[in-house]
Structure 1
Amino acid sequence: MAELVRNMMELVKNPEEVANGGEVEIERFWTPSFIPFRVSRDAIQLYFDLEEETELNEIDKFDKIAEFVANEIYGGKFTKEDIYERLHGPNGKAVLEQQLIFVAQGQQSADTKNFQAKKN
């Protein structure tokens, strides 16, 4: 079997401290070593459902993606609320979308690849 690829998500560990001028501490969460193909299929379905859904506003779509990322991809290592409170806002949407793409297609982010290269 080919090497099992993993992805990571970075959340700010100390957002209150940072808001008061403190140094940023990052907490890294890794996907499980094995992600069932069902989760990949569900990620693809969620992506297409949200693309075609006209009744949901953008906030509801973010909620669905954040819940999927926290619960299905990372197995509850953090919550949807953690994502909203600890994910850096300016690139948050792209980070969440990249998590879906990773599970659906196996594409790691450049940050993850670089971090793994340094680690090894």
Structure 2
Amino acid sequence: MKRNFIKLVKEMKDDKPVFDTFLTPTFIPFKKMYEAVDLMDELQNNDKLSEKQAFDMMFDMVVDIYNKQFTKEQLMNGLHAPDAVQELQSQIAFIAEGHMDEQRKNELAKMV
């Protein structure tokens, strides 16, 4: 079964990040894929959503994908700002489409 992971900065020590790494559950119900596809459509086709609303929806979806192994607050504080949007989108795309880049696949293989 396909899995994914997310690394969140837990703290900074000597100006270097210390990460917590979380794996997706072994089984992800199809319903979550259905919800992820719906969210992607809504984000792409709803001009009335503010950026903050879109972020909140993505944060909630990612926390749900990982079965609440971390909180929305931990997610918000643990992502590096310049990479955050791309990370959120890739997490949701993994559920919606099952895609993962090669670098991520290789890193995941070392974990499981």
Inter-CA distance 5–81: structure 2 relative to 1 (3 Å threshold)? same
Structure showing greater Rg: 1
1:116 and 1:85 map into 2 onto residues whose CA distance is 23
Task: Report the equivalent of 2:69.
Answer: 77
Structure 1 unaligned segments of length 5 or more: list them. none
Residues 1:42 and 2:35 are matched in the alignment? yes
Task: Trace 1:31-70 onto structure 2 (pairs within 5 A).
Answer: 31-70=24-63
Structure-2 separation of matches of 1:81 and 1:119: 25
TM-score under structure 1 normalisation?
0.85
Q: For the Cα contact (< 8 Å) 2:9–2:18, is it kept in 1?
A: yes
Tell me if 1:7 matches 2:4: yes
Q: Which amino acid aligns with 2:39?
A: L
Gaps of 5+ in 2: none
In the alignment, is the contact (CA less than 8 A) between 2:5 and 2:108 conserved in 1?
Answer: no
Q: What number of residue pairs does the alignment pair up?
A: 112
Higher strand share: 2
Root mean square deviation of aligned Cα: 1.6
Question: Are residues 1:96 and 2:88 paired?
Answer: yes
TM-score by length of 2: 0.90
- Output the CA distance in 2 between the equivalents of 1:111 and 1:60: 30
Q: Distance in 1 between matches of 2:86 and 2:23?
A: 18
Cα deviations by residue, 1:59-97 (Å, 9 ceiling, x for unpaired): 1101101111102x0111111111111111111000000
Alpha-carbon distance change, 107 to 12 in structure 1, aligned in 2, over 3 angstroms:
same
Measure, in 1, the Cα distance between the counterparts of 2:103 and 2:8: 13
With 37-46 and 53-62 compared, the bigger mean Cα shift is at 53-62
Q: In the alignment, is the contact (CA less than 8 A) between 1:98 and 1:109 conserved in 2?
A: no
Confirm or deny: 8 A CA contact 1:7 1:109 kept in the other structure. Answer: no
Q: Deviations over 1:82-120 (max 9, x none)?
A: 111111111100000001110011112444312133346
